[in-house]
Amino acid sequence: MAKRRRKTRSQAEQAGPVEGKYEISTGIAELIEDDYTPDGWVLEINGMESSHVVLGRPRELDFEYMRWIAAVTEAYVSSALDPEKLRITHLGGGACSLARYFADVYPKSRNTVVELDAKLADYVREWFDLPKAPTLKIRVGEAREVTETFLPESRDIIIRDVFAGYVTPVPLTTLEFTQIAAKSLSEKGLYIINCGDTRDLAGARAEAAAIAEVFPYTAATADSAMLKGRRRGNIILAGSFAPLPVDGEDLTAQVTKRLLGGAVPAYYKDDAWFRSFAAGGKPRRDGIDTVDLKLLDSKLRGK
């Protein structure tokens, strides 16, 4: 994403968010007004773009990977879940862009956002037009620890979008964590994650292998260059207990049309592709597998 120009306005001139840097529990948050989108705001955490929000328009998702998550999730809900009773958990908060989106798409849903940074959670409530609890509730805590407290079958969808810099902490990527998340899902639950990776896609294959071992149905979404290992970026991986769209179904065509319509065209890959992709990896395990996060973060930053 191109770096946005910044403009400064005084607090007296501003109604709502105020551009500037703010100390938070985990470092520095910077709120930047988006010159290219009326009422648009970019949230950076420790120098990294974290979220984008357009006040008054919750369905405008600026980040492509969020649009991909939305497309796959909505297709799944239409085929497997009751939109009137959705319980959605978002691991990773930022500006709560996706939680805000789904709260608008599914007005009767209950969205719980798990956010590590307590001060950031307070600021986000102050800055942005988030629905009130219980429609959108922010729970402060570390995502792995909080997930371990979930009751069996207590949620329908879990969306994992947790990053420390450009990487997801290893404890949130293991087979054991995937199993813990799966146990908290309903009988037709969906687990969908944003995986950031380098060209070798080793991390994505490891996470795909874990999902393939735990869930009977799987799918992936990313742009062509990412899927072919030609660049670093994001790949969306999903596992579920009810069928996801498969090749040849009308629902797959609908998802594909929606994904191809974005600024960065993406492709939907069904279970057959996913399991072939996952076969090239091995799930990470708690207490056994480690990752040099500083090195991976540096690679993802392009340094």
Q: Which helix (H) or strand (E) holds 294?
A: helix 293-301
> What is the predicted pLDDT for the residue at 213?
98
Domain segments of the chain as ranges: 11-54, 64-301
List the chain pLDDT tens, one digit each, 303 residues. Answer: 334 444 444 443 344 799 999 999 999 999 999 999 999 999 999 999 999 999 999 999 999 999 999 999 999 999 999 999 999 999 998 999 999 999 999 999 999 999 999 999 999 999 999 999 999 999 999 999 999 999 999 999 999 999 988 899 999 999 999 999 999 999 999 999 999 999 999 999 999 999 999 999 999 999 999 999 998 899 999 999 999 988 778 888 889 999 998 889 999 999 999 999 999 999 999 998 776 555 555 555 555
> What is the predicted pLDDT for the residue at 295?
55
DSSP labels, 182-227? HHTEEEEEEEEEEEEE-TT-HHHHHHHHHHHHH-SEEEEEEEHHHH
What is the dotted CATH code of the domain comprising 64-301?
A: 3.40.50.150
> What is the predicted pLDDT for the residue at 296?
52
Before 134, cis peptide (omega within 30)? yes
Q: Which of 96, 100, 155 is nearest to 122 (CA)?
A: 96
> What is the predicted pLDDT for the residue at 143?
98
> What is the predicted pLDDT for the residue at 291?
63
The contacts of residue 226 (CB under 8 Å, 6+ apart) are 233, 234, 235
> What is the predicted pLDDT for the residue at 15?
47
Contact (Cβ atoms closer than 8 angstroms) between residue 114 and residue 148: no
Q: What is the pTM of this model?
A: 0.91
> What is the predicted pLDDT for the residue at 2?
38
> What is the predicted pLDDT for the residue at 11?
41
> What is the predicted pLDDT for the residue at 263?
87
